[in-house]
Amino acid sequence: MNPIIECVPNFSEGRDLRVLDEISAAISSTEGVRLLHRDPGKATNRTVYTFVGHPEAVVEAAYRAISVATRLIDMRQHQGEHARMGATDVCPFIPISGISMEETVAYSRTLAKRVGEELNIPVYLYEASATHPSRRNLADIRAGEYEGLPAKMQDPDWKPDFGPAVFNPQSGATVVGARPYLVAYNVNLNTPSVRLANSVAFDVREAGRVKREGHPITGKVVQDETGQPVRIPGTLKAVKAVGWYIEEYKTAQISMNLTDLSQTPLHIAFDEVVRAATARGIRVTGSELVGLVPLICLTDSGRHFLRKMGRSEGVSEKELIECAVRTMGLSELSPFHPEERIIEYKMAAASDQRLIHLSLSDLSDETASESPAPGGGSISAAVGALAAALGAMVANLSAGKRGWEAHFERFSVLARECQSYKEALLKKVDEDTFAFYGIMNAFSLPKSTPEEQLHRRNCIELATDEAIRVPLETMKQAFACLEPIRELIENGNPNSVSDVGVALLCIRSAIYGAWMNVTINAASLADQKKAADYRRDADALLQDCLKLEPVLLDAVRTKLGG
């Protein structure tokens, strides 16, 4: 797997489009990098960029962007609602795939060293890249902000990790590091009061609030035996939060950073803010996400809210996202477009909009054309996906049937299983066509020299192996879907037995069709032992299907009264 990292630099400029466009151009012009999102804020006077790519390309793009910010942003003129200490305030690297956190740390330090030495900017390392525990927390490094840097940098404990230990009045200082996904999330309140917003923020954030005697604001701070303030912890782990007022929205917000989604997912943060706000007589009116978020944030949130409504969770990915967006009011301040805000969707290149994104009419036309692909393998996978979709429908109808509440959880699980098989089989629709073109491309390679001939043979063998693996996986996914289909035939909504019967027939067709593709491609594999293993696995799956399918079909006929 090619290593991919994400970079989410925050620049202290959110109003001057000329500056923002130059930073965008610096990132986009770097080969091997894709700029996914730019999120400017006028009130905060800050812009968050998100780009991904190979680690070395990401380091280069980050350096180019920081160079532009160093040249065009003057911190002596900067004013904004967000805490900041430099033109490039913070530049985190996040491992996405094919790379460890330790390797990502090494790349972050490469960037920090270059920025410090070549741009003469003081650079501090934070999070996983930190050189000392006292520097892991961004808030600790940024304490005092830009205005406090001259005094801070005279303290030996705050000597920069890279770059000069001298205050840079134009650019300030920069923080660089590697960290897990951080979700920046703001919850909107029906009040302009920053004091009330902070009260809610202190209720929920992990750091909580300082304990006071008497009045919660003006009372004397309680200290422990070492003289340190005693803190009352908040209710949410791995959450940083503060209240602020946003002029452009005319409302106060709880601004949160969710630093570990495994401890506090997005939906839990939302629910807890709603609870804390309600307890103080405040109403949550919506929320907003800053930058991009992982898909799982919204799908998990959708499932959570569906559970609270007593609805089945076995709906499509699209429906899960829509439920999350509606429930948390993510479109209250501006429209929330999943294709622009979910990182997995943005990472998909234009070429990824393939067969499964065609209309049924267009897919039929594409299949009917003179092109040999999509062919039987892709159509087998598509038929299997439709079978799983029918299974999910019947499970959801059964879960929602009045009087069947005792069986709700089981049908919800079956619906989710069918949805997972549907998604897996949909991927095989395109993968099968790509595998076919992989063989065609391999056969078109040059063969003038012995070296070219050897390379061509190896490529043909690898491509043929892939053209067998994909339909074999289609068979496995389709066969696995027979188990929830069997249970739905036996126990599902009797009014939908014909639908689950059609799903059964589609599964049989998907398995038989994919078996044909495994068999025909295995004949071309040079490694005949491997080919025999593939054929054996495919034959076993087909035979198991042919034994089970008539039994289940008889059960359908019985339910139909035939």
Average model confidence (pLDDT) across the chain: 92
Can you tell me the distance from the alpha carbon of 433 to that of 517, in angstroms, rounded to the nearest whole number? 12
- Residue 221, CA atoms < 13 Å, CB-side half-sphere: 9
pLDDT value of position 351: 44
pLDDT tens, residue by residue, 153-172: 999 999 999 999 999 999 99
Give rounded-to-5 percent helix, strand, coil for the chain: 55, 15, 30
| Residue in 477, 258, 324 with CA at minimum distance from that of residue 388 | 477
Tell me what the mean pLDDT of segment 34-58 comes to: 92
| In the predicted structure, residue 322 carries a pLDDT above the cut 50 | yes
pLDDT value of position 350: 42
Give me 156's structure tokens.
């030996």
pLDDT band for position 220 (cuts 50, 70, 90): confident
Alpha-carbon distances of 76 from 155, 169, 174, rounded to whole Å? 22, 7, 15
| Residue in 301, 292, 341, 304 with CA at minimum distance from that of residue 321 | 301
pLDDT value of position 196: 95
Contact status, residue 17 vs residue 68, Cβ threshold 8 Å: no
Can you tell me the distance from the alpha carbon of 234 to that of 162, in angstroms, rounded to the nearest whole number? 35
Tell me what the mean pLDDT of segment 438-459 comes to: 92
Q: Domains along the chain?
A: 4-178 (3.30.990.10), 183-347 (3.30.70.670), 350-560 (1.20.120.680)
Cβ contacts of 260 within 8 Å, gap of 6 or more: 180, 237, 238
Residue for token pair 């067998």:
468
- Examine the residue annotation and report whether 432 is marked as an active-site residue of this protein: yes
* Candidates 82, 260, 499, 537; catalytic one: 82
pLDDT tens, residue by residue, 532-561: 999 999 999 999 999 999 999 999 999 998
Can you tell me the distance from the alpha carbon of 101 to that of 98, in angstroms, rounded to the nearest whole number? 10
DSSP one-letter code for 168: -
pLDDT value of position 357: 81
* Candidates 39, 271, 300, 432; catalytic one: 432
Contact status, residue 520 vs residue 450, Cβ threshold 8 Å: no
* Packing angle, helices 497-522 and 376-399, rounded to 10: 150
| In the predicted structure, residue 349 carries a pLDDT above the cut 60 | no
Can you tell me the distance from the alpha carbon of 349 to that of 326, in angstroms, rounded to the nearest whole number? 27
pLDDT value of position 548: 96
Residues facing residue 243 across a β-bridge: 254
| In the predicted structure, residue 217 carries a pLDDT above the cut 80 | no
Cβ contacts of 222 within 8 Å, gap of 6 or more: 210, 211, 212, 213, 229, 230
The C-alpha angle with vertex 170 and arms to 168 and 174, in degrees rounded to 5, equals 60
pLDDT value of position 1: 53
Can you tell me the distance from the alpha carbon of 222 to that of 230, in angstroms, rounded to the nearest whole number? 6
pLDDT value of position 356: 82
Cβ contacts of 232 within 8 Å, gap of 6 or more: 208, 209, 210, 211
pLDDT value of position 522: 96
Work out the burial of residue 375: count CB atoms within 10 Å of its CB; fewer than 13 is exposed, 13-18 middle, 19 or more buried: middle
Total number of residues shown for the chain:
562
Give me 478's structure tokens.
């389709």
pLDDT band for position 562 (cuts 50, 70, 90): low
Can you tell me the distance from the alpha carbon of 198 to that of 241, in angstroms, rounded to the nearest whole number? 8
Tell me what the mean pLDDT of segment 66-83 comes to: 93
DSSP one-letter code for 523: T
pLDDT value of position 2: 76
Give me 276's structure tokens.
């804390």
pLDDT value of position 402: 87
* Packing angle, helices 17-28 and 55-72, rounded to 10: 160
Can you tell me the distance from the alpha carbon of 531 to that of 51, in angstroms, rounded to the nearest whole number? 42
| In the predicted structure, residue 467 carries a pLDDT above the cut 70 | yes
Number of Cβ within a 10 Å radius of residue 281: 9
Residue for token pair 């939060």:
241
| In the predicted structure, residue 281 carries a pLDDT above the cut 70 | yes
Give one DSSP letter per residue of 303-361, joined into a string.
Answer: HHHHHHHT--S-S-HHHHHHHHHHHHTTTSSS---HHHHBHHHHHS-GGG--GGGS-HH
Give me 444's structure tokens.
């078109």
| In the predicted structure, residue 354 carries a pLDDT above the cut 80 | no
Tell me what the mean pLDDT of segment 330-355 comes to: 79
pLDDT tens, residue by residue, 295-306: 889 999 999 999
Torsion of CA 22, 23, 24, 28, to 10 degrees: 100
Residue for token pair 């805490």:
83
Give me 526's structure tokens.
């040079």
pLDDT band for position 513 (cuts 50, 70, 90): very high
Can you tell me the distance from the alpha carbon of 279 to that of 266, in angstroms, rounded to the nearest whole number? 20
Contact status, residue 57 vs residue 31, Cβ threshold 8 Å: yes
Can you tell me the distance from the alpha carbon of 210 to that of 220, in angstroms, rounded to the nearest whole number? 10
Which residue would you say has higher pLDDT here, 225 or 119? 119
- Examine the residue annotation and report whether 82 is marked as an active-site residue of this protein: yes
pLDDT tens, residue by residue, 192-209: 999 999 999 999 999 999
